[in-house]
Chains A and B, each alone.
Chain A
Amino acid sequence: MSGARILSMGFVGLILLFLAFPIIVVAVVSFSSADYLTFPPPAFGLRWYRAYFGSEDWLVPTFLSLAVAACVVVLSTLLGTLAALGIARLPRALRVVATGLILSPLIVPVIVVAIGIYYAFSRYGLVGTPVGLVLAHTCLAVPFVVTSVSASLAGIDPRLEQAALSLGATPGGTFFQVTLPLIRPGVLVGALFAFITSFDELVVALFLSGTGAVTLPRRMWEDLRFSIDPTIAAVSTLTIVLTAALLGGAHLLRRRAERMRTA
């Protein structure tokens, strides 16, 4: 191996360390036994996890975030999958407009979305309610479902559906027996991304949570204003583990889908 190659690999390694390091530090700090934030910790323990699991102040927002994210998954997966099935077959002009509208939350600065929804929802008493959060988070999650399902639809051989129809299957039967099984991995990946989008969302929650519907990120944000004690590190580590587990699941689904396609 040449010197230049070792040098460039070292450089890439350093950047990867830069990417991973902050997250590793948070995970290590969460097992600290110290009263305050210090690194490396003087000793290790589960004290901050006990603080988290023993406190209603943390558990109530956690359950709210999980419940909101679950509702967002159901709503965005249903709406997004149906739309993905139809969108490619729309007339061109309509398709461009529909795609633009549905994908625009990826580009429009989230603060603009957040205050727009806050402005409208405050008139209908939806601020400070879990329903308001579900309705708003679904808008942010839907683009991930539509792109994920569209990608798996694009990979389907159209002859499979045509064969089913010409062999006498009803359109409904074709959908449930042929199309749906083929796009299921794409739907599940979209659902996972929708879950993560809602569960981690903070900017919209800052405006819509009020006092009645405080989500976990909102609770962390409030806590950070007063202290950066290691309870937040424990909460952060738990959310990282949850995210990693979901991403691992998504990866396995993709692999299975690829095997199904090549088989």
Chain B
Amino acid sequence: MAQGAPALPVAWNRVMPLLLVAPLLVYMVVFYALPVISMLLRSVSEPTWTLANYAALPRDTVFLNTFWNTLYTAIVVTVGTLLLGYPVALGLVRARRSAPLILIIILLPFWTSILVRSYAWMVLMGRHGLINEALIAGGLIERPWRILNTPLAVQIAMIHILLPYMILPIANALRQIDPSLARAASGLGATPWHTFRQVILPLSMPGVAAGVLLVFVLSLGFYITPAMLGGPRDITLSMLIAQQVDQLNWSYAACLSATLLATALVIIAAAQRLPGIGNAFKMSAR
């Protein structure tokens, strides 16, 4: 980063960066931080200052079921994206001529809206959607299989939507591995599988950790996809919050929001403390 001009007074060099950042900071405080904080405060300020909303959560079966469903979905989606994403990241890094094409296939869905992608899965999974038609035509099933409005539909679509968030950090970590290490391993007689298992995989762990963290935290906040593809009983925490706002149940909605936010922050903080992962998250943030 550039050092300030030597000709300028020192005080000006101190003030100038602050003046540049101040407009955005003020903007973010006024239109983002204060609104969110004042909403969250509703959870402890009604009718007087109280923690009753939070104290009731452990016995609140609606909350517990929703919270578990949200966590369970996030776990399934994280495992799914990891299993599908790692090979693609490896393929992307090893590809030569096809690398730009692979990158386009990964990035175009990445920047296509979640609404459009969820709609695409509605088209594919419907009673007369492509998946059912193909299964019937292939003689595998006789009557349409109910996929839409099940947890499976939500999980498949979320894996599809979040896959790039897993692929990109892993590919980033794989790219930074010195290729001479793999050559040395095979030169010393290691089989390709051993080279992968003993050299490549351990060195790619920071990328894996970053991808897992990113996908898990993003999964926790999903709203559009479960609302469009899920069944009426498999609601996520985000959907429950939206319902409560619609019913003007602000203190409960705020309590749920604080719980969702705290869960995400605790997971990020915990991951940062694990050895090696703290650096990984910084790396992927850059």
Which residues of A line the B interface, CB within 8 A?
A: 4, 8-9, 11-12, 15-16, 18-23, 25-26, 29, 37-39, 79-80, 82-83, 85-90, 94, 98, 101-103, 105, 107-113, 115-121, 135-136, 138-139, 142, 146, 151, 153-154, 156, 158, 161-162, 165-166, 171, 174, 179, 196, 200, 202-203, 206-207, 217, 220-221, 224, 228, 232-233, 236, 239-240, 243-244, 247
- Please tell me if B67 contacts chain A, counting CB pairs below 8 Å: no
| Candidates B31, B84, B129; contact of A15 at CB < 8 Å | B84
Residues in chain B near residue A220, CB distance under 8 A: 115, 119
Residues of B within 8 A of A (CB): 1-8, 13, 16-21, 23-25, 27-29, 31-40, 42, 84, 87-88, 90-91, 102, 105-109, 111-117, 119-124, 126, 128-130, 133, 160, 163-164, 192, 217, 220-221, 223-224, 228, 238, 241-242, 245, 250, 253, 257, 260-261, 264-265, 268, 285-286
Do the beta carbons of B119 and A26 come within 8 Å of each other? yes
Which residues of B lie under 8 Å from residue A120 when comparing CB positions? 34-35, 38-39
* CB-CB under 8 A for A86 and B5, given A111-B241, A117-B36: no
10 A-B residue pairs with CB within 8 Å? A15-B87, A16-B88, A18-B160, A20-B105, A26-B119, A39-B130, A108-B264, A138-B27, A217-B115, A220-B119
Q: A11-B87, A89-B1, A119-B39 are in contact. Are A26 and B126 (CB under 8 A)?
A: no
- Contact flag A86-B109 (CB < 8 Å), given A25-B120, A39-B123, A138-B27: no
Residues of A within 8 A of B114 (CB): 200, 202
Partner of B38 from the list A8, A110, A119, A236 (CB cut-off 8 Å) is: A119
Chain B residues, Cβ within 8 Å of A165? 5-7
- Residues on B with C-beta less than 8 A from A142 are 24, 27-28
Which of A22, A108, A156, A233 counts the most chain B CB atoms within 10 A? A22
B286 contacts across to A, CB distance below 8 A: 151
Given A12-B91, A15-B84, also A112-B257 (CB < 8 A): yes
Q: Whole-angstrom distance from the CB of B93 to the nearest CB of chain A?
A: 11
Number of residue pairs A-B, CB distance < 8 angstroms:
244
Check if A111 sits within 8 Å of B2, measured CB to CB: no
The one of B19, B31, B37, B111 in contact with A135, judged by C-beta atoms closer than 8 angstroms, is B31
Most A C-beta atoms less than 10 A away, residue of B1, B107, B113, B217: B113
The verdict on A115 contacting B39 (CB below 8 Å), with A39-B133, A82-B21 known, is yes
Q: In the complex, which residue of chain A has the Cβ closest to the Cβ of B3?
A: A158
Shortest C-beta distance, A224 to chain B (Å), equals: 7
B8 adjacent to A171 (CB under 8 Å): yes
Given contacts A23-B112, A26-B119, whether A113 and B21 have CB atoms under 8 Å apart is: no
Partner of B117, one of A22, A113, A153, A154: A22
- The reply to whether A20 and B115 form a contact with Cβ atoms under 8 Å apart is no
Q: Does A115 lie within 8 Å of B29, measured CB to CB?
A: no
